[in-house]
A and B are shown apart, each in its own frame.
Chain A
Amino acid sequence: MKCALCGHVFDENKRLEICKGCLGSGCKKIRCPNCGYEILPEPEIGSKIVKFLKRRFKSENK
């Protein structure tokens, strides 16, 4: 994963880079180890909508 702020490339599965500070459980925010910038993974609902729209768009284009 590449940080959107500093361009640092890092392994997003490393423990430390994943936010552990949230009060709510199940937070999957990723933090860049170089600059601390917060990178938000796309929410599931979001990607579903995007996929749906893409499919719609494609079929309309045909």
Chain B
Amino acid sequence: MGTETIKSWIKRFDRKPSFGEDHLELSSKIEKEKRKSKKLVLVGTPNVGKSLLFNRLTGAYVTVSNYPGTTVTSDSGSCDISGESFDIVDSPGMYSLSSITEEERISKLMLLEEEPDILLHVADAKNLERMLPLTLQLIEANLPVILVLNMMDEAEKVGLRIDHAKLEKELGIPVVPTAATTGRGVAELINKIGSYKPKTGYNIKYNEALESAINKISTLISDEYPISRRSLSLLLLQQDEDIEKLVKDKEDVDYNKIKKIVNETASKFRQPLNYLVKLRLQGEASEFVSSTSKEVEKVDIGFRESLSRVMINPLTGIPILLVILYFGLFWFVGVFGAGDLVGLVEEAFFGELINPWITDFVVNTIPYVPIQEFFVGDYGVWTLGITYAIGIILPIVTTFFLVFSILEDSGYLPRLALLIDRVFKVVGLSGRAVIPMVLALGCGTMATLVTRTLKTRRERTIATLLMALAVPCTAQLGVIFAVLALYPNALWLWALVILFNYIMVGFVASKIMPGDKPVFYMELPPLRVPRPSNVIKKTYTRLIWYIKEVIPLFILISIVLWGLMLAGILDVIIALIAPVINAIGLPVEASQTFILGFFRRDYGAAGLYDIQGALNGVQLLVAAIVVTLFMPCVAQFMIMVKERGMKLALLIAAFILVFAFTIGFVVNLILTSLGVVL
């Protein structure tokens, strides 16, 4: 019988008007009572042992049916539990009620149409955090759900202990630990199914705007539905097409009224509503998991797992990070990339071979000096734009992207994020600062956009400031490493000053936004030896994007500078900032670095590389510090304007300018008055 009904409903869904009068009759209470046997449906994600559990419950008599027009299959069978006969259906895989895949959609429609007497949510006990959002949605929908914590044996093997009694109490629904492979817990599950009484479970509160929208929509809905009005309203807010269709078909109310509420609510947030709901569910799930499960040390966790833990534990993770930074960033990117490779490409290839030839050629063929300058002058498209882009920046980012791709492919990055999160928590800083920290390893130009993932205006503002101030970009780091490699003491001081900055700004940030526990959902993929093909592909992809972005921009900036120089404005600017440059102990030639840096961070870094010969150790250190802290490039500033508004962007920029030069001034003052030679 089970198969028959599934086939009939799926046929209904295949035809256009899915929820017609016939559905109304089917869903009526009378129909339900007329059924001879009760209906039990299994839901859950794939690979959680759902089918195995299904087999344990049904025994040998299983019908596999293929849905017409789809490749989606479902099993059905039956069994007797405490004198009652049950039809059991195993639904296709499903992660969430708000469906993305065809399987999820069919599973959801199944829940709506089948009206199960009991719903088993089969979850992987090892990954409870990822499983619970669906449980919470099912509870929200007021469906008769029992949570099955399957694969409990495996969870215990990796050292996980789940207090299922506590979870049962907190969720307000039956929770049964099982191991379908061995049959453990199946008897207890059958007991719970036999004695099941529907009750109301845990109720999630969303933010005010969402709650009021839920209430408004709920009052507009008058018909009877297989799921709660609250759940229905939430799905409508998430613009679930199937639910929209269901409500449009069933309700007399003008659907535009509901649509208006949905649009109004959506316009209040930067993120889509389905994302907000998902985040909330995930946050609740994390809370449940942290209050009901704990990890105990286990003997045989395997090399990878122990390596993974060692990477996340601050005591061992920080030394590992330092080793990676030292060899990966300092040696490979700084000394090899920014030192050797740039020396080869920029100095030997461009400086000695190509550029003299091109300069000769241009000077000999074009008699007009300003046009000569346009190509090969101090701010020439070729001598500055192309030479910096290809000669200095390209070797650095290539080596960096290589290291980064290796780290990404190995699965280290999420562990790094968790490590930093833990370290920050120890120091009392907001865990949210993790994101810019990790992204700091990539190119930070667009990092400001990331602040969209933060909740409040205040948090976004602080994050914007933090990123503009203390997130250096790759090329900058490379150049600084290369330039300071000859002055180890200067390098240490530089790292110290920047670190001090991070902590200070982070500390202030945490004081301004206290108490807000960030929801940081992160899945840990297994660690693995990076695959060369992956690494090459990733490096190549990043490089192409970078080149596409950087070369036109560098050419454009050269042209702008050339124009400013022709108009005599550049000299005025240099004269204006000269006192500031002198005040921090740098020669006037360094002005160019900062002017370039204003246009683009990596451009400024290239400028620093260019003038390094003219500076001593202390001057290099001061320049490196100011360049790192210095106002990010025009591009980042423009995004700041776009995201935060002109007023705030100007305020942040002004603060950073003053701050960067003040720190430079203070460092220079201390070092020179102490007579330090680096």
Q: Contact residues of A with B, CB < 8 Å?
A: 4-11, 14, 16, 19-24, 29, 31, 33-38, 40-43, 45-46, 50
How many Å lie between the Cα of A22 and that of B175 in the bound state? 49
Q: Check B100 against A11 for contact (C-beta < 8 Å).
A: yes
User: Beyond A4-B413, A6-B523, A7-B525, is A36–B408 a contact (Cβ under 8 Å)?
Assistant: no
Which of B523, B549, B552, B643 is the most central at the interface, judged by chain A CB atoms within 10 Å of its CB? B523
How many Å lie between the Cα of A33 and that of B452 in the bound state? 8
A5 to chain B, nearest CB (A): 5
Q: Check A33 against B541 for contact (C-beta < 8 Å).
A: no
B194 to chain A, nearest CB (A): 37
Contact residues in B for A29 (Cβ distance below 8 Å): 446, 545
Contact residues in A for B414 (Cβ distance below 8 Å): 5-7
Q: Check A31 against B450 for contact (C-beta < 8 Å).
A: yes
A18 to chain B, nearest CB (A): 11
Q: Check A22 against B450 for contact (C-beta < 8 Å).
A: no
Q: Check B453 against A22 for contact (C-beta < 8 Å).
A: no
Enumerate 27 A-B pairs (CB-CB under 8 Å) in ascending A order: A5-B522, A6-B414, A6-B417, A6-B521, A7-B522, A10-B275, A11-B100, A16-B271, A16-B275, A19-B446, A19-B449, A20-B449, A21-B446, A21-B448, A21-B643, A22-B446, A24-B552, A33-B453, A35-B520, A36-B435, A36-B450, A38-B442, A38-B446, A40-B541, A41-B541, A42-B537, A43-B544
How many Å lie between the Cα of A28 and that of B100 in the bound state? 22
User: Beyond A6-B521, A36-B435, is A43–B541 a contact (Cβ under 8 Å)?
Assistant: yes
Contact residues in B for A33 (Cβ distance below 8 Å): 271-272, 275, 453
Q: Mark B384-424, 1 if CB is under 8 A from A, else 0.
A: 00000000000000000000000010000110010000000
How many Å lie between the Cα of A38 and that of B520 in the bound state? 17
How many Å lie between the Cα of A23 and that of B550 in the bound state? 11
Contact residues in A for B553 (Cβ distance below 8 Å): 23-24
Instruction: From the candidates B452, B524, B635, B642, name the one contacting A16 in the complex (CB within 8 A).
Output: B452
Instruction: From the candidates A6, A10, A23, name the one contacting B638 in the complex (CB within 8 A).
Output: A23
Contact residues in B for A16 (Cβ distance below 8 Å): 270-272, 275, 452
User: Beyond A21-B642, A24-B549, is A46–B522 a contact (Cβ under 8 Å)?
Assistant: no
Question: B639: CB under 8 A from chain A?
Answer: yes
Q: Which 9 A-B pairs have the closest CB atoms?
A: A7-B523, A36-B450, A43-B544, A6-B522, A21-B449, A21-B639, A36-B453, A40-B541, A40-B545
Q: Contact residues of B with A, CB < 8 Å?
A: 95, 100, 270-272, 275, 279, 408, 413-414, 417, 435, 438-439, 442, 446, 448-453, 520-525, 537, 540-542, 544-545, 548-549, 552-553, 635, 638-639, 642-643
The majority secondary structure among interface residues of chain A is loop
How many Å lie between the Cα of A41 and that of B544 in the bound state? 11
How many Å lie between the Cα of A14 and that of B100 in the bound state? 12
Contact residues in A for B542 (Cβ distance below 8 Å): 40
Instruction: From the candidates A7, A34, A46, name the one contacting B540 in the complex (CB within 8 A).
Output: A46
How many Å lie between the Cα of A4 and that of B411 in the bound state? 9
A56 to chain B, nearest CB (A): 15
A40 to chain B, nearest CB (A): 5
B419 to chain A, nearest CB (A): 13
* Least CB separation from B547: chain A residue: A43
How many Å lie between the Cα of A37 and that of B523 in the bound state? 14
Contact residues in A for B452 (Cβ distance below 8 Å): 16, 36
Contact residues in B for A20 (Cβ distance below 8 Å): 449
Q: Check B449 against A45 for contact (C-beta < 8 Å).
A: no
Instruction: From the candidates B448, B523, B552, B643, name the one contacting A8 in the complex (CB within 8 A).
Output: B523
* Least CB separation from A34: chain B residue: B521
Contact residues in A for B450 (Cβ distance below 8 Å): 31, 36
Q: Check B417 against A5 for contact (C-beta < 8 Å).
A: yes
* Least CB separation from B635: chain A residue: A23
B350 to chain A, nearest CB (A): 24
Contact residues in B for A50 (Cβ distance below 8 Å): 537
Q: Check B272 against A14 for contact (C-beta < 8 Å).
A: yes
A9 to chain B, nearest CB (A): 8
Q: Check A46 against B417 for contact (C-beta < 8 Å).
A: no
Contact residues in A for B537 (Cβ distance below 8 Å): 42, 46, 50
* Least CB separation from B451: chain A residue: A36
Q: Check B449 against A36 for contact (C-beta < 8 Å).
A: yes
How many Å lie between the Cα of A62 and that of B642 in the bound state? 56
B374 to chain A, nearest CB (A): 22
* Least CB separation from B643: chain A residue: A21
A22 to chain B, nearest CB (A): 7
Contact residues in A for B448 (Cβ distance below 8 Å): 21
How many Å lie between the Cα of A2 and that of B541 in the bound state? 17
Contact residues in A for B522 (Cβ distance below 8 Å): 5-7, 35
Instruction: From the candidates A4, A24, A36, name the one contacting B439 in the complex (CB within 8 A).
Output: A36
List 14 additional A-B contacts (Cβ < 8 Å) besides A5-B414, A7-B522, A29-B446.
A4-B413, A8-B521, A19-B449, A21-B449, A23-B553, A23-B635, A29-B545, A31-B449, A35-B417, A36-B449, A36-B451, A36-B453, A38-B446, A46-B540
